[in-house]
A and B are shown apart, each in its own frame.
Chain A
Amino acid sequence: MLEETLVLFKNIRNPKYDKSLAGYKNTGGFKSLKKVFGMKPEEVVQEVKESGVRGRGGAGFPTGLKWSFMAKGTGKPSYLVANADESEPGTCKDRELMLKDPHLFLEGLMIGSYAVGCHHAYVYVRGEFFPAIKILNAAVDELYADGLLGHDPLGSGFNLDITIHTGAGAYICGEETALLDSLEGKRGQPRVKPPFPAVSGFNGCPTSVNNVETLACLPFIFSDGGVESFKSFGPQNNSGTHLVSLSGHVNSPGVYELRMDVSMKDIIYEIGGGIRNGKKLKGVIPGGSSSPVMKADEIDVLYNFDDLAKIGTMMGSSAMMVFDEDTDVVKLLHRITRFYAHESCGQCTPCREGTHWSRQIVRDFLNGNGSEEKLKRLDRVGGNMLGTTLCALGDAAAMPIQSFVNKFPEEFRKYYATT
């Protein structure tokens, strides 16, 4: 029987765990930070590279490598920003970490700040997360009161402040450059890259933006023997555990911490308890609503970055949305296209127009006005968004459209065969 591997959820799964600073310290909290303060920042970056941890926000970019791109000797301050704007449909893992073990994440943020030479770190939390915002603010206050933040924590000679900044409701602000614009008090619209944030980010200074879960991995990586254990939790290049947000038609939806060498089939049937009401599986959206959909016969695959990429989809933010045989995939795609039409920032024409056109075409099918020509047009509108926009939202909108059309064409045809 498949079980969870507890690294990030070690405390959360303990029903007696006290998430206050004292409770976190009792479980060995801040030992890693102390160890890190005894190392040189370059050594810390090297160690993170060695661990192979990849960004958990969706792109899967190696974290150590991202940090090594940070411009040095510019005379400007460096910033580390935690991306807590969790808004990819299906994803609810960072919320768990922030609500139930805030100090684990904050220790990770402090380790990261030391590594990139940041003296003022920001946490950009989505505005709707009212409970998490309160908890994070209280946790930061505790750290200041304890002397772990501010001037010279643990006698390290390193100064660090943390500010919790709230968003105001925009999916696009999860994109790192839009997030930085939003943090600066502007509309959250993605920037032209290059320059990348590592060179010119927050207020034009070198900045690294990292996901909450990625940062929460750091205390473990810097515990004794952490790097080796971390690497052992998955195949090469897919190290560590990850938090899987399982939702949709399974018997036991939830957020589960799993190794990266378990199959999707086992996750759905063993961890998720199978499909509810004894129904059959029809498909899975494997990594947030942006990822290409998979059919039921494709799920015998390891759930990690590389194995999913090999079969033409992606693990994204590890958000698995499962749907059963009774699901109308045209309606499902309509809901997805509505989401992107609502969330497009309107900056690039292919995305601004394409997201609305695709929504209208799918709606035509639902209204009984579908046709073979429209099915082809839908696929084409998707193709025109792919790779033609400043940020990945265009791709994110295109991938579900094209995969739904290509994998379930008969479902669309049902809508015009009968009319």
Chain B
Amino acid sequence: MAQQENEGWLTEKWMQHVADICEVPLTHVEGVVTFYTMFRLKRPGKFHLQVCTCVPCCLVGGTELLEHTENKLNIHAGHTTTDGEFSIEEMECLGACSFAPAIIVNEDYHEQVTPDKMDKLIDQLKQ
């Protein structure tokens, strides 16, 4: 919830706040935060593109889709564009295997995504 309040990422101030509410040491909160992939310590882009390249997705083009997205936005996975609009994250299984390759943009699933579809989606989001 703290992460949602703070544009999708956490700082020490926010973690301290959570520690105070839960009455646990800050280290406990940091331990939990660094364990899970959905807690972020870096500000994501306005549109956070999470591309799955796990087994079923990689069989049908997930890896190529990730490369395509990286080239299109000119950043590597784990980074954010300089204008702060887009960030890319390589994901492990998103649980949409029969509809692969799958991506999540912020909170929305997109399925059977081809490089073409990805281009269109990014163009749409830019507007």
Contacts and interface: CB of A to CB of B under 8 A. Distances in A.
A152 to B, nearest CB: 32
A319 B60 CA distance: 16
Contacts of B95: 86-87, 91-92, 94-95, 126, 128-129
B92 interface: yes
B29 to A, nearest CB: 10
Given A89-B93, A167-B36, A249 B55 contact: no
A343 interface: yes
B56 interface: yes
A105 to B, nearest CB: 15
Given A129-B95, A131-B109, A187 B59 contact: no
B96 interface: yes
Contacts of B69: none
Given A128-B38, A245-B98, A186 B32 contact: yes
A90 B56 contact: yes
Contacts, number: 113
Interface residues of A, number: 45
Given A171-B92, A171-B93, A327-B59, A127 B38 contact: yes
Contacts of B50: 128
A131 to B, nearest CB: 6
Interface string A298-326: 00000000000000000000010101000
B32 to A, nearest CB: 6
Which bracket fits the contact residues of B?
20 to 34
Nearest to B37: A169
Contacts of B100: 247, 253
B102 to A, nearest CB: 9
Interface in B71-127: 91-100, 104, 107-109
B93 A170 contact: no
- Residue of B93, B98, B99, B100 ringed by the most chain A CB atoms within 10 A: B98
Contact of B53 (A170, A254, A335): A335
Nearest to A289: B55
A339 B97 contact: no
Contact of A89 (B32, B35, B56): B56
A268 to B, nearest CB: 13
A332 interface: yes
A226 interface: no
A342 interface: yes
B26 interface: no
A129 B32 CA distance: 20
B39 interface: yes
A89 B109 contact: no
A88 interface: yes
A91 B54 contact: no
Contacts of A129: 95
Interface string A147-188: 000000000000000000001111100000000000001111
Interface string B39-63: 1000000000010011110111000
Given A171-B92, A185-B32, A336 B55 contact: yes
A127 B94 CA distance: 10
B20 to A, nearest CB: 15
Contacts of B94: 128
A95 B55 CA distance: 18
Contact of B92 (A86, A131, A246, A343): A343
A335 B36 contact: no
A249 B56 CA distance: 9
A247 B56 contact: yes
B90 to A, nearest CB: 10
Contacts of B37: 168-170
29 contacts: A87-B92, A87-B95, A90-B93, A91-B93, A91-B95, A92-B96, A92-B98, A94-B95, A95-B96, A126-B95, A131-B107, A169-B37, A169-B39, A185-B22, A186-B32, A187-B31, A245-B97, A247-B60, A248-B56, A254-B99, A255-B98, A289-B55, A289-B93, A321-B97, A323-B59, A335-B53, A335-B55, A339-B54, A343-B92
Given A89-B55, A92-B95, A171-B93, 14 more contacts: A89-B97, A90-B56, A91-B95, A91-B97, A92-B98, A130-B104, A168-B37, A245-B97, A247-B56, A247-B98, A289-B55, A321-B56, A323-B59, A335-B53
